[in-house]
Structure 1
Amino acid sequence: MPLQLTIAHTSTTGPRERNEDFCGFVTPEGAQLANKGALAALADGVSGGTGGREAAEYTVRGLLADYYATPDTWEVQHALDKVLGAINRWLISQATTRRDLAGMSCTLSALVLRGQRYHLAHVGDSRIYRLRGDVFTQLTTDHVWDRPDMRHVLKRAVGLDSHLMADFAEGELQAGDVFVLVSDGVWEPLGELGMHSALNLHRNPALAAGELVRLAHKQGGQDNASAVVVRVDAVAEDNLRDHLAAERRLPVPPRLKPGTRLDDFEVVEVLHESRMSLLYKVRKRSDGRLWVLKTLPPRAANQPEFAAALIQEEWLAKKVIAHYFPQVLPLAADERSALYYVMSWHAGATLQQHLDAGRHFSIAEATQTGIRLIKGLAALHRLNILHRDIKPANLHLGEDGKLRILDFGVAASSGLHDTGGGAGTPSFMAPELIAGAAATVQSELYAAGVTLYYLLTRKYPYGEIEPFQHPRFGDPPPPTRYRPEIPQWLENLLLKAVAFEPKNRFETAEEMLLALEQGERHPLGAPRRTPLLTRDPARVWQALAVFSIVLNLLLVYLLIVA
């Protein structure tokens, strides 16, 4: 569900000859709303300057247009800062070169609403307020001199100084929030109590904006009066950009020892450490339950790409609500003082740990494991998520008998993330991934097939592959070579799953699941052997070249003899 807003604005001249306020908003749709958000802005031209109205109008119009022209990869604050800096330089250049625009400057209050967060930019003495429930809060600080006789003299404004210093802030959105952008012609005569009462009286933004301006002049306001009212009707679904914006500023925690406390969690033991992750078994102090806390090792604190990867991992894991995966514990922004996320703890061991301990999986156990694995992958694929590292070490068999897929460290959502890059473990990677192609459902099911093949035989269908190795792929040996008791239907299924060509594999997880569940009743036919020209074209052409050379030598010899 996208973000849903109702926005209205009103601006009147009042007793003045000229309206030097200017306000406006943009509410895009679709991808632009998700990527850039909705933007509302209000500017008040500085009185006494001949170009106040022009400054206010140019600043708002320029911001509303240029913000949406910035790259989608820029964060909101960075985009606002860059655009406002350019506008500030233009105003100064105009005031410098044109006498009729001397003193061209204005205040500005701007609000961006995107996903589940709001972002504001502010300079001067216009204001932004938020009404949440019955609490009316001022979100901005006036940039005026702290003296009674100079409280209308601005210390900062757009176009006032060569270097613009705007205030930026952000926070979480809630459905029902009402944001109000007002010029000093509204907030000064009405005060917070008067504005709060007007908003409580009119929940419709258009009526509320009109009432604020009308009351401001009724109370004796002598300035232009302008108001923009934004009501949040529905908050968007969680998205990665907002997740990154909310958590990227959290620090990486120091290395934690058993007994150490972090927020509401107490460390029980260290579970695992790698170059990119550090896992602790923790106890939640408020209820005593056990969880797994995942964070970055301290040496990765200065590597923003690692932090972004961890945040992305949490975001993807939170989207998957199924018992085939550990569940992420929702934590509010004020519940975390460091960069980490928490997921459910389950007693048990990974399939790789079972194999290392010498466990022998029966045909029935391997088949049941395969069914559970494919059901989990189907749940992922329905959410447009590819795990990209399916292997026995990432499959956990709990003491409750449930199989769970672990580690979303290299998971990606196709269409949102880059699914190339050769992520995964080489021995479980499909041939096209090793050749540089992007991950697909077929490559994911290939990894599942290799996992089941390995679980039954402790062998890889194409042999063990080391990183940076360029293997040659022939036809994989049938698993009955290592375990003759494997039924023919299961052998055919495994060989189809690990076929060299993606087109010869299962197309969807549902298709592979059906083959596993109905294998004995509706067995698959034996897969056709892959032609050598498809498997290893270089080898074919080398053989043809050798044959051609030998044939030519033979012809030369016959000519000489003759």
Structure 2
Amino acid sequence: MGSAQLALSYGQAYVAPDRRYHRSSMSVTLPQDGQLNAKGACAVISDSTRRNAMAKQAGDLSVRGFLADYYSTPDHWDVKTSATRVLRALNGWCFSQSQCVTDGSYVSSLSAMVYRGRSAHLFHLGDTLVFRLRGAEFEQLSRDHVADLGGYRYPSRALGMDVSIEIDYVQFPIKQGDIFLFTTQAVMGTLMPSEYVQLIRQDASDLNAASDRLAAAAVQRAQARGYGAEQFCFQLVRIDELPDEQPDHPGRAYGDLPIPPELSLGDRLDGLEIEAVLSRTAQSRVYRVRDVQTGREMVMKAPSPELSTRNAYLEHFLLQQWVVERVKSPFVVRIMESSRPRRYLYYLMAYIEGENLAGWARRHPQASLVQRLDIANQLGKAVQALHHRDLLHQQIHPSNVMIDRHGQVVLTDFSACRMREGGNQNESRELARQVGLTEHSAPEYALDDGVGRRSDQYSLASTVYWLLTGEPPYELAPNQLRSHTDLEQLVYRSARTRNPEVTLALDEALRRALDPQRALRYRRMSEFRHALRQSVTGESGVRRPGHRILRDPASFWQGVAGILLLLLVLTWLLR
């Protein structure tokens, strides 16, 4: 006889004269066995303000976005880590999008409850309402975060309201028969706690009918008291069955797989034949493999066999596959699926038929400035794709940039990649150090300073500088810094002195992006990429079809003066 699984039922009711203009949204997700054990079931409700012209978009997007991203997080993350990171990323997106619209905003209150094993986890922002009915006890689990402005009550600490958020979180045990009610501030002042209990218990076997009874009673009470009842929603969730015991750690499906042994040419693992050993480092092994069943060539990355006891790195290794899966860009390497189940800990990536940037530069010493800047632009797009998903790469250098046979740039190796979170800058920096700093690493990694997107901007600019000149931008490599006083030794060496084709505008763009002080670099990656493009299209010193390069302006004007003098002499002789 198999062990019991978590089982729940739910019902919903919505009151709105025109669903096209509603401002609330709700949903329940009950996944299949594997994901149910790893991530649990989830119930969400959101609500935007009545005076928000984009209330419908804000409410719908927050619910869909949370559910989609939560179930896409790595299985080895616990519930709190997964939901918190998703809410922070969703908040950042909603806040940034609100700055781009003039009519309305993407601000909304949100309550999400995750049921996993024999526990529930509540995440709450704003003024949506969550209650628990256990027996005859009806208890509010959420806290109201509201502000009174000019006689109107507005939610505070809501999703998308500020660049950072404070999330209410509580975990508590659940019992079979518990019923949870999700609703919005609009129902406040309509029904009493005893009425909620009576209406739900009247026939608790049909939660849709119970939700309808709540909605009808709330509308009737609101109309009797003379205020609007145009926007009510109710969602009921009942715990029907609990699992026998708390499921294993959610990462067991992958985290407990053994690390592959040292592999050599011709060895086979899970139906994958080793065709070449691409890299052996202290942290990982990288192989080119061929699926013997499909014939596909792929790249396998596995932890180093010596790391079997270093759980911190292994946890991050599990994150790497999720990072690559999350970013959809032609300039970022993509994850591949094997034709057979995995029996060892590794992941597969698309094989790029080409060479890394260092090899390309050696084989193309005569490449034009325009060709090199095209590579820089593609690499900038790859880094931006990561930043749009709130990820830092932290290891941008020529060996991690591939160029395929068609000239397309593909960013690889996510050994140091991490979510960008304000409170975890130390962890990001320490991970980059563990993987290994390079001459293209930003100075802040060596000096215990804060790291962020501008740190990736520095590494990108340093790689572009090297691509244009073949040398680093500073005599002292930033990874050799020992104290902040050493920053004075970082004197920028003009790229124009090493490559005459580099224009003044391009040199200035590189200098700013390579400033030792992180705060003095470009605020956004898009600004740096725009400066690189302008240095090509807006300067006469770069070769373009139909234009000549003025390498020596002084000689040019001396020639013009000589011709004019000759014409003057000829005019005088022919008089």
Q: What TM-score does the superposition give when structure 2 sets the normalisation length?
A: 0.50
Q: Equivalents in 1 of 2:519, 2:472: separation in Å?
A: 21
1:487 aligns with 2:503: yes
Match of 1:513 among 526, 529, 533: 529
Provide, for residues 58-100 of structure 1, a one-character-per-residue CA deviation record: whole Å limited to 9, x for no partner.
Answer: xxxxxxxxxxxxxxx9968xxxxxxxxxxxxxxxxxxxxxxxx
SS of the residue aligned with 1:515? Answer: helix
Alignment-derived partner of residue 288 in structure 1:
295
Distance in 1 (CA, whole Å) between partners of 2:460 and 2:440 is 8
Counterpart in 1 of 2:283?
276
Distance 1:348 1:276 in 2: 24
- SS of 1:293 mapped into structure 2: strand
Alignment match, 1:369: 375
1:386 aligns with 2:392: yes
Q: 1:409 to 1:483 in 2, by over 3 A?
A: same
Confirm or deny: 8 A CA contact 1:258 1:267 kept in the other structure: yes
Name the CA distance, whole Å, in 2 between partners of 1:74 and 1:456: 42
Partner in structure 1 of residue 268 of structure 2: 261
Unaligned runs of 5+ in 1: 10-26, 41-72, 77-112, 122-179, 183-203, 211-226, 232-240, 525-562
Distance in 1 (alpha carbons) for counterparts of 2:524 and 2:539: 17
SS at match of 2:335: coil
* Aligned residue number for residue 229 of structure 1: 240
1:391-415 CA-to-partner distances (Å, cap 9, x unmatched) read: 1111111112210111100011112
Which of 409, 413, 429 is matched with 2:419 structurally?
Answer: 413
Q: 1:209 touches 1:228 (CA, 8 Å); kept in 2?
A: no
Establish whether residue 298 from structure 1 lines up as the match of residue 314 from structure 2.
no
1:447 equivalent in structure 2: 459
Give the drift of 1:491: 1.1
Alpha-carbon shift at residue 306 of structure 1 (Å):
2.7
Name the CA distance, whole Å, in 1 between partners of 2:398 and 2:314. 26
Distance of 1:412 and 1:284 partners within structure 2: 30
Using a 3 Å threshold, how does the CA distance of structure 1 residues 444 and 206 change in structure 2: closer, same or farther?
farther
- Deviations 1:198-221, CA, capped at 9 Å, x for gaps: xxxxxx9944999xxxxxxxxxxx
**In the aligned structure 1, how far is the partner of 2:250 from the partner of 2:382?**
24
Give the aligned partner of residue 520 of structure 2.
504
**Following the alignment from structure 2 to structure 1, what is the Cα–Cα distance between the partners of residues 338 and 472?**
41
Conserved in 2, the CA contact under 8 Å of 1:496 and 1:506?
Answer: yes
Where in structure 2 are there 5+ consecutive unaligned residues? Answer: 1-6, 12-27, 30-35, 44-75, 80-112, 120-174, 178-202, 210-237, 243-247, 541-575
- Matched position secondary structure for 1:404: strand
- Once the 2 structures are TM-superposed, how far is the Cα of residue 344 of structure 1 from its aligned partner? 0.2
Q: CA deviation at 1:376?
A: 0.9
Question: Equivalents in 2 of 1:74, 1:411: separation in Å?
Answer: 16
Contact 2:38 2:250 in 1 (8 A): no
Native 8 Å contact 2:392 2:452 kept in 1:
yes
Cα distance in structure 2, aligned partners of 1:282 and 1:486: 41
Please report the TM-score for the alignment, with normalisation by the length of structure 1: 0.51
Change (3 A) 1:520 1:397: closer
Residues 1:336 and 1:348: Cα distance change in structure 2 (over 3 Å): same
Alpha-carbon shift at residue 463 of structure 1 (Å): 2.1
Instruction: Report the Cα distance in structure 2 between the residues aligned to 1:395 and 1:432, rounded to whole angstroms.
Output: 22
Change (3 A) 1:427 1:229: same
Per-residue CA deviation, residues 481-515 of structure 1 (Å, 9 max, x unaligned), is 11122122211111121122323321112112222
Q: In structure 1, which of residues 465, 490, 507 is the aligned counterpart of residue 477 of structure 2? A: 465
What is the Cα deviation at residue 273 of structure 1? Answer: 0.6
Mapped contact 1:244–1:312 kept (Cα < 8 A)? no
Query: Residue 420 of structure 1: SS of its match in structure 2?
Result: helix
Partner of 2:405: 399
The aligned counterpart of 2:90 is none
Q: CA deviation at 1:360?
A: 4.5
Deviation per CA, 1:411-446: give whole Å up to 9, x if none: 111128532325453421222332212321111111
CA distance in 2, matches of 1:392, 1:465: 16
Instruction: Find the counterpart in structure 2 of residue 324 from structure 1.
Output: 331
In structure 2, relative to structure 1, the CA distance for the partners of 1:243 and 1:502 (3 Å cut) is farther
Once the two structures are TM-superposed, the CA of residue 338 in structure 1 deviates from its matched residue by: 0.6
Structure 2 Cα separation of the partners of residues 519 and 299 of structure 1: 48
1:77-156 equivalences in 2 (<5 Å): 119=117
TM-superposition CA deviations, 1:274-307 (whole Å, max 9, x none):
0001011111122111000100122222322232
Does 2:258 align with 1:246?
no
Partner SS, residue 396 of structure 1? strand
> Identity rate of aligned residues, in percent?
23
CA contact (8 A) 1:243 1:311 kept: no
Q: 1:256 to 1:431 in 2, by over 3 A?
A: closer
Contact persistence 2:441–2:479 (CA under 8 A): no
Distance in 1, matches of 2:478 and 2:524, equals: 28
Secondary structure of 1:279's partner? strand
Segment drifting more, 276-285 vs 422-431: 422-431
Distance (Å, rounded) in 1 between the aligned partners of 2:37 and 2:416: 24
Q: Shift of the alpha carbon at 1:523?
A: 6.5
For 2:428, the aligned partner's letter is T
3-state SS in 1 of match to 2:448 = coil
Deviation at 1:264, TM superposition (A): 3.1
User: What CA deviation, in whole Å up to 9, does each residue of 1:84-127 have, x standing for no partner?
Assistant: xxxxxxxxxxxxxxxxxxxxxxxxxxxxx969xx6579xxxxxx
Q: Name the CA shift for 1:35/1:475 in 2 (closer, same or farther; >3 Å).
A: farther
- 1-structure distance, mates of 2:241, 2:394: 42
- Cα gap change, 1:435/1:467 in structure 2, threshold over 3 Å: closer, same or farther? closer
Alignment partners' CA distance in 1, 2:470 and 2:42: 58
Matched residue, 2:221: none
Please, which of 319, 344, 348 is the counterpart of residue 312 of structure 1? 319
**Matched position secondary structure for 2:406:** coil
Question: In structure 2, do the counterparts of structure 1 residues 74 and 495 end up closer, same or farther at CA, with 3 Å as the change threshold?
Answer: closer
SS class of match (1:419): helix
